[in-house]
Structure 1
Amino acid sequence: MTAFALTEGQQQFVAHVRAVAVDELRPVVDAGEEGHVNRELLKAMGTHGLLARLFPSASTGRPAAAMDLCLMREALATVSTEAETALALQGLGSYPFLLSGNDAVIDTWRPAVVSGDAVAAFALSEPDAGSDAAALQLEARPDGDGWLLHGEKMWISNAPEADIYVVFARTTPDARARGVTAFAVAGDAAGLGGEHLDLISPHPVGRLTFEGVRVGPADVLGEVDRGFTIAMRTLDLFRPSVGAFAIGMAQAALDTAIAYTKQRKAFGGVLSDQQAVSHKLADMATRIEASRLLVYSAAGAYDAGADPAEITRRSAMAKLDATETAQFVVDAAVQLVGARALQRGHPLEHLYREVRAPRIYEGASEIQRTIIGRSLTR
């Protein structure tokens, strides 16, 4: 890829993903239930090879290139945000154990995640540790050669229905980021409970409770007390792709607004003839393209093995700008289409509900600005 255009191969890949989404995934999405894991959707993604693209190397289990991940998420989001989110959560929930798990953990869970038979989840946030993730308090109490987990996690996507959770727990008190360990925890582990949370997002989000959930040395991902690094490395990969998700939503909203304003009769012509309307469309399209290039830049830096500090900064810029752009574009599209865009079931009504959360999760916009600012003045 150049700085300005996708290669022919990348364009063909995007076209393929969109075609699968339209022909194969959207009908399965429509048959699902909002707020719950759509296991048939995950199976369809596995059948058509999309989940395998998250982990292209069978020999190493390495995750997808950041660019591939971004292209998949953007392409899916223009067709179905539910399909996009289902794919993204499989990646987010499994990348940490692919990055740092032992062979037994990888061999157990990777094939099931790729086929869509197992649902993965990333469990970092807590009631009092959201943006300040290093303040997490889920306690890992020593127990023989292992630990017992006590506490709770909150705002966890795919909870409480996931089959495998990557859980970040405190193994050293009062050490903030230096005292956190990542564990692989099966969804049916004794002492693990949970409940759904009723949010406006169409995908499942829940609370998890840990009442003496036992984890042993084989469940540790990476090193004891070094789990926070795994969380941050995971977010460095997925933050640009959150931007890609946002760009996909924004593009869908723009396309809807263009189609509507070109046929809506008003003031002796069509609505798009009005300069106020055409200028708004121009602003929407320009901001989308600028954000898309930031996302590509961040993904390219990750794939090129740039300095970790540069990767973190570019990832933060991409997520910040793209999610803020998507909020602007979807809101502007609703304004142009008018009251019908607020009717339940309208594409823009769905996007209007969906677009708000990405400005919060995986690091709120304010946190991204803090990361960028510190990188400039360090």
Structure 2
Amino acid sequence: MYYSLTDDQRQIQDLLRRVAREKVAKRADDIDRTAEYPHDMYALLKELGLFTLPFPVEYGGTGSMLSACIAIEELARVCYNTAYLLLVQWVPFGAILHGGSEEQKEWLLPGLASGEMRGAFSTTEAQSGSDVSGIRTRAVKVPGGYKINGAKIWCTNSDLADFVLVAAKYEQDGKDGISLFIVEKGTAGFTVGKKEEKIGARGVPSCPLFLDDVFVPEKNLVGGGFRAVMEAFNSSRPLIGARGVGLAQGAIDHATAFVQDRKAFGQQVSDFQGIRWMLADMAIQTEAARNLVYRAASLVDQSAPAVELAPIAAMAKCFATDTAMRVATDAVQLFGAAGVSAEYPINRYFRDAKVLQIIEGTNQIQRNIVANSLLGRVARAR
């Protein structure tokens, strides 16, 4: 029912906190300002061997989603983009690990684990973001494999990825199903478009994808269908919540230091009761979010059934990212006029927090998941 950190997890926390402060923090503003991919930060994470952290020991990991959340939190506390580098590697790794064939695992997982290979995961389309079942990209069976036609948007890491896991509809037992297809870089008809200019998450590119009669061999179909797609989302949601916790804690760190260094009306700004209560509320909300995220991560580690995990993971993602937005907003307020200046980093936390409320399933969708667990699904009108 409850989590507690092991000695190994506390060592991970201590290591990542030190690395974040000494090596990552000084790069964070520059990554955000230039919107250039931080190859040096990727190399650092690769050197630390973090790309398998949540996965089984046989792949070099810890077998712990909680450990992964701790790492994400510590990195996001100083740099959202560096934390994101881990997540975009972990999602395709997890999808292949849980839904892929043995051949696909042998082909892709070693490279993802070492960092020599990059992957990406794509479901979102212009007309269907939250409604994954509404995607129009289609794979048609042809001799030896499938031909895929369609278009995707907001595919993060796609212009750097060696392969993209593309969700597409295809005919299965006479009915439409949805599954993931491994589309390799350089495949004929597969085009990655220009990266989007984003308000936050600027250091890791998100691009549209265009698929025009893209042939993928039979071996590139990932098993599990639509259920595997949704389970990949469920099991990764604690990681999104952990980014929210990290952002909120980082905003508190900056705001606390700022108000302690300022004076107004003859006294320290941090001595005003209104300021102290604002910071207290920020800390209370963040600690509540942290506990909910760690609880969700522990359920993943316990291999909890989807019916139990899905609503808790949705709560964790929703509450933690809403908290990040509230805390970052209050932190900007505590900075006063400096909060809207590009000279101070707090505006970066505000922009990145807004992104988190939308990606990996909007927070409105998370509320639907929780409501469905209480009341059942609403019958669709025919």
Q: Flag whether TM exceeds 0.5 (same fold).
A: yes
Partner of 1:241: 239
Call closer, same or farther: CA 1:62–1:80 in 2, change over 3 Å: closer
Q: How far, CA to CA, are the matches of 2:342 and 2:63 in structure 1?
A: 36
- The answer to whether the 8 A contact 1:35-1:205 is kept is no
Going from structure 1 to structure 2, the CA distance change for 1:272 and 1:159 (only over 3 Å counts) comes to: same
* Residues 1:153 and 1:345: Cα distance change in structure 2 (over 3 Å): farther
Note the C-alpha offset of 1:142.
Answer: 1.8
Question: Equivalent residue for 2:182?
Answer: 184
Deviation (angstroms), 1:54: 3.8
Partner amino acid, structure 2, of 1:6:
L
| Structure 1 portions without partners, runs of 5+ | none
- Counterpart CA distance in 1 for 2:62 and 2:13 is 18
1:12 is matched with 11
Equivalent residue number for residue 49 of structure 1: 49
Distance 2:138 2:36 in 1: 28
**Residue 286 (1) aligns with residue 261 (2):** no
Q: Which residue of 1 aligns with 2:119?
A: 120
Deviations 1:164-203 (A, max 9, x none): 2111101039x99x61021111122221102211112212
Q: Does 1:71 align with 2:67?
A: no
Change (3 A) 1:149 1:377: same
Task: Name 1:137's counterpart in structure 2.
Answer: 136
How far off is 1:31 after superposition? 7.0
Q: Which residue of 2 aligns with 1:39?
A: 39
Measured after TM superposition, the shift of residue 22 of structure 1 is: 3.1
1:298 partner letter? A
Distance 2:23 2:270 in 1: 34
**2:326 aligns to what?**
328
Matches of 1:219 and 1:6 in 2, distance apart?
39
1:360 equivalent in structure 2: 358
Residues 52 and 61, structure 2, Cα contact 8 Å, conserved in 1:
no
- Counterparts in 2 of 1:31 and 1:335: CA distance versus 1, 3 Å: closer
Deviation at 1:308, TM superposition (A): 1.3
**1:130 Cα offset (Å):** 0.2
User: Is the CA contact (8 Å cut-off) linking 2:63 and 2:301 kept in structure 1?
Assistant: no
| Greater mean alpha carbon deviation, residues 301-310 or residues 123-132 | 301-310
Between the aligned partners of 1:336 and 1:62, the Cα distance in structure 2 is 40
Conservation of the 8 A alpha-carbon contact between 2:52 and 2:90: no
CA distance in 1 between counterparts of 2:290 and 2:78 reads 17
Deviation at 1:117, TM superposition (A): 2.1
Deviation at 1:5, TM superposition (A): 5.0
Aligned partner of 1:80 in structure 2 is 79
Query: Quick one: structure 1 residues 230 and 4, their matched pair in 2 at CA, closer, same or farther if it must change by over 3 Å?
Result: closer
Where 1:181 maps in the other structure, the secondary structure is strand
What is the CA–CA distance in structure 1 between the aligned matches of 2:166 and 2:66, rounded to whole Å?
A: 27
Contact 1:62/1:98 (CA < 8 Å) preserved in 2? Answer: no
Please name the residue that 1:215 is paired with.
216
Length-normalised TM-score, structure 2: 0.91
Compared with structure 1, are the counterparts of its residues 308 and 113 closer, same or farther at alpha carbon in structure 2 (3 Å cutoff)? Answer: same
**TM-score, normalization by structure 1:** 0.92
Listed as ranges, the gaps of 5+ residues in structure 2 are 377-382
- Structure 1 residue 146: deviation in Å? 1.2
Residues 97 and 166, structure 1, Cα contact 8 Å, conserved in 2: no
In 2, Cα distance between equivalents of 1:127 and 1:325: 28
1:21-36 matched pairs, under 5 angstroms? 21-26=20-25, 34-36=34-36
Query: Would the alpha carbon gap of residues 352 and 31 (structure 1) be closer, same or farther in structure 2, given more than 3 Å must change?
Result: closer
Q: Which of 228, 231, 246 matches 2:229?
A: 231
Mapping of residues 270-349 of structure 1, within 5 Å:
270-349=268-347
Q: Distance in 1 between matches of 2:271 and 2:360?
A: 40
SS at match of 2:57: coil
Distance of 1:347 and 1:62 partners within structure 2: 33
| Aligned 8 A contact 2:3 2:298 in 1 | no
- Give me the whole-angstrom Cα distance separating, in 1, the residues matched to 2:285 and 2:56: 32
Task: Supply the distance in 1 between the matched residues of 2:39 and 2:154 (Cα, whole angstroms).
Answer: 20
Equivalent residues of 1:302, 1:311 under 8 A apart: yes
